[in-house]
Structure formats: C-alpha cells, structure tokens
Amino acid sequence: MRDTYHEQLAEVGDGLIEMSRLVGSAVSKATTALLDADLDAAEQVIAGDEQVNALYRQLDDVAVQLLARQQPVATDLRAIVTGLRMSSDLERVGDYAVHIAKVARRRHPHSVVPIELRATILEMGQAATRIAVKAGTVIATRDLTLAAQLLADDDTIDALHAQLFSQLLSPSFTHGVEAAIDLALVGRYYERLADHAVAVSHAVTYLVTGEHGEPESYASE
C-alpha cells in the first residue's frame, strides 16, 4: 500500500546514507590534504562539497513534500523530522571538511602540520573519519549499540583536541603564531564535526525509540 509514499520515505533514508558517505570521504581526504600538503586532494574536497549541498537541498524538498502530502505519523514522522536534522548535521560535517581543506590549500606548498604534531593530527583525522562513517552506518542500520560507540569516539576526539591545545601552548612549540592559529582552527574543526556526528547518533536514538534519551540506555550488550 501507498507505494509512492514508501518510495519517498526510502529516498530520505538513502539520501542521508549517500550524504554520510560523501562527507566521510571528504573528511578523510581533507586529512590527507592537510598532512601531505596535497593541493589536489584539497581542491577535490572543496569542489565535492557542492554535491553534498545539492543532496541537502534535495532532501529538504522531499521531506517538505512528504509532510505536505502524506501526513506521516509515528516512526515515519520521526524519520522525516530527524531526517531534516541529520541532513543539516551532515551538511555541516561536509563544511568542516572544506574548512580543513582550505587551511591546507592556503599553506600549500608548505605543510600546516609540523612533524612533532603529525601524530596528533593524524589520529584526530582518523577518528573524525571513523565517526563520520559510523554516523552513516548508524543511519543505515538504526543500530543503537553502534550509536553509543560513536559517543566514545567523540570522547577520543575531545581528548585529542585538548592534547593539541596543550602542545600548541607549550614553550617547545616554535612555529609561530600563524601556524598555531591554523592548527588551533583545524583542531576545532575536527572537534566540531565530531559533535555533529554525535547529534546524528542522538537523532537516530530518537527516531528508533521516540524518546530523547542517550543511546547507551538503549544499546544492547
């Protein structure tokens, strides 16, 4: 029954999964651009964001059409309301990847990351990529156990963010104010994008349970 309706609902879900795939790859590529001073990678991330934005607008349109025409209720209603929020969060994740890529582009051919900070930034980049990809899996599977794990990844990024700051403020950091600002910004971008992935995790929890709880309280062993 109501085939068109269910197709459009699936379109919202598929669109979110596609968005998370795109932004996950953008975060990974932006990290490469940053660590390897890879201008080509940076340009790809910056240009690729248009595709994310187009999907974001398209999801908005589909969601408005569904709300206007299909009178969704219960889980379907939450799927659309949370879908709107999640697409906005994913779009922001994409924007942060662009910000990171732009820092890399601005410093090219020099590297933003001094050798002694490579490990920290690499770890942040990997954790951020992981959390963005996981957000996509949580959307696709509605798995609250995975949603809870995603929160743990965010704690890792927060810890790395704090560590980066202390490294920047340490007397042994000798690369000047400009470099410090770039690195502080990059750290901040990773930290923010992880928070948006966490918001996706909360949205999926609400979608599944209808309650505004923490995913841990619903996760299975």
Partner 1 sequence: MAKRIVARDVSAYYGAFRAIEGVSLTIEPKSITALIGPSGCGKSTFLRTLNRMHEVIAGARVEGQVLLDDEDLYGEGVDATAVRRTVGMVFQRPNPFPTMSIYDNVAAGLKLNGVKGKQRLDEAVERSLRGANLWTEVKDRLGKPGAGLSGGQQQRLCIARAIAVEPQVLLMDEPCSALDPISTLAIEDLMTELKDRYTIVIVTHNMQQAARVSDTTGFFTIDGPGQPGRLVEIDATEKIFSNPSEKRTEDYITGRFG
d(CA 103, CA 4): 44
Please answer whether residues 80 and 15 qualify as being in contact, where contact means their C-beta atoms are separated by less than 8 angstroms.
no
Contacts with partner 1 by CB under 8 A lie at 1-5, 64-65, 68-71
Residue 173 CB, nearest distance to partner 1 (Å)?
A: 54
Residue 31 CB, nearest distance to partner 1 (Å)?
A: 40
C-alpha closest to that of 145 among 154, 155, 137, 133: 137
Q: Between residues 57 and 118, which has the closer beta carbon with respect to partner 1?
A: 57
Residue 162 CB, nearest distance to partner 1 (Å)?
A: 46
Q: Between residues 68 and 177, which has the closer beta carbon with respect to partner 1?
A: 68
Q: Between residues 9 and 186, which has the closer beta carbon with respect to partner 1?
A: 9
Please answer whether residues 34 and 96 qualify as being in contact, where contact means their C-beta atoms are separated by less than 8 angstroms.
no
Q: Between residues 3 and 178, which has the closer beta carbon with respect to partner 1?
A: 3
**Chain centroid, CA 47 distance in Å:** 17
Residue 67 CB, nearest distance to partner 1 (Å)?
A: 9
Please answer whether residues 19 and 85 qualify as being in contact, where contact means their C-beta atoms are separated by less than 8 angstroms.
no
